[in-house]
């Protein structure tokens, strides 16, 4: 696959693990986009997702959400949960399926889950999703059935994780990455501790870029609904 390029777009991905973020400082550090964890499985809503959304949007960043998948679930149920929690929040980046655990499933089963998830969300939203996964996970868990979806690949370089590989290496399924997570130990102003840093391929960015819509500080109604349970309800 292609090498990293200085013209590519700097994107971070965050979750509640990154604590409270000063998004104005993040934007001033050359970051142009942020993927925010929204959901996991069919029950978990990230408690920082909405605050991160408001902060990143109003700092001028392109914003997208990712869903951490459990391959032993029904992919349709996972998509419906993700979209329910997304509500009226406005995205600038494609929805992301984060699939990095096979949950004991076979390659055919993991692939079927991924294709089912991505096909369904594409039908529901008219947005082609992106697939996030690790380099070593691809060979053992995916077939070429996922090839039509853009790849967000993660691979680090051991003791030199802060700089990362020049490229993640080759795969039998994709010959190009759309985004490359080259470190999980990055440093960005406005975030305490380490943060995942990615390069988004410039051509891919240009193909999806529609600009940023600044949003009002009103919590989307779909964040919590009658019948919901779990951490968010306990906190409320």
The rounded Cα 134 to chain-centroid distance in angstroms is 13
Neighbouring residues of 4: CB distance < 8 A, sequence distance ≥ 6: 164, 165, 166, 167, 180, 182, 199
CA distance 67 to 39: 5
Considering the candidates 13, 196, 199, 201, report the single residue annotated as catalytic: 13
CA distance 44 to 117: 17
H or E element at residue 28: helix 23-28
Taking alpha carbons only, the member of 92, 31, 81, 10 closest to residue 228 is: 81
Considering the candidates 22, 100, 122, 184, report the single residue annotated as catalytic: 100
Question: Can you give the three-state secondary structure of 201-229, one letter per residue?
Answer: CHHHHHHHCCCCCCCCCCCCHHHCCCCCC
Buried/exposed code over 184-216 (b: 16+ C-beta within 10 A; e: otherwise) = eebebebbeebbbbbbbbeebbeebbeebeeee
Rg (CA), the chain: 17
46 in catalytic set: no
Tokens at 72, concatenated: 């032993």
Other CB atoms within a 10 A radius of the CB of residue 25 amount to: 14
203 in catalytic set: no
Q: Which residues are catalytic?
A: 13, 100
């Amino acid at each position: 696959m292609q090498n990293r390029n200085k013209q590519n777009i700097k994107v971070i991905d965050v979750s509640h693990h990154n604590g409270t973020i000063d998004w104005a400082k993040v934007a001033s550090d050359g970051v142009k986009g942020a993927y925010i964890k929204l959901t996991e499985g069919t029950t978990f809503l990230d408690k920082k997702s909405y605050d991160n959304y408001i902060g990143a949007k109003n700092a001028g960043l392109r914003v997208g959400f990712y869903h951490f998948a459990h391959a032993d679930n029904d992919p349709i149920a996972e998509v419906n949960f993700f979209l329910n929690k997304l509500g009226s929040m406005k995205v600038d980046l494609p929805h992301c399926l984060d699939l990095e655990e096979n949950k004991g499933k076979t390659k055919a089963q993991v692939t079927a889950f991924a294709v089912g998830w991505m096909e369904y969300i594409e039908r529901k939203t008219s947005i082609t999703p992106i697939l996030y996964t690790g380099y070593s996970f691809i060979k053992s868990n995916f077939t070429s059935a996922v090839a039509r979806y853009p790849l967000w690949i993660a691979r680090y370089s051991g003791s030199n994780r802060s700089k990362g590989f020049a490229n993640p290496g080759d795969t039998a399924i994709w010959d190009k990455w759309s985004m490359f997570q080259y470190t999980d130990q990055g440093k960005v102003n406005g975030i305490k501790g380490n943060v995942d840093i990615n390069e988004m391929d410039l051509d891919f960015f240009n193909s999806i870029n529609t600009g940023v819509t600044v949003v009002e500080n009103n919590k989307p109604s779909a964040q919590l609904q009658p019948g919901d349970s779990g951490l968010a309800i306990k906190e409320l």
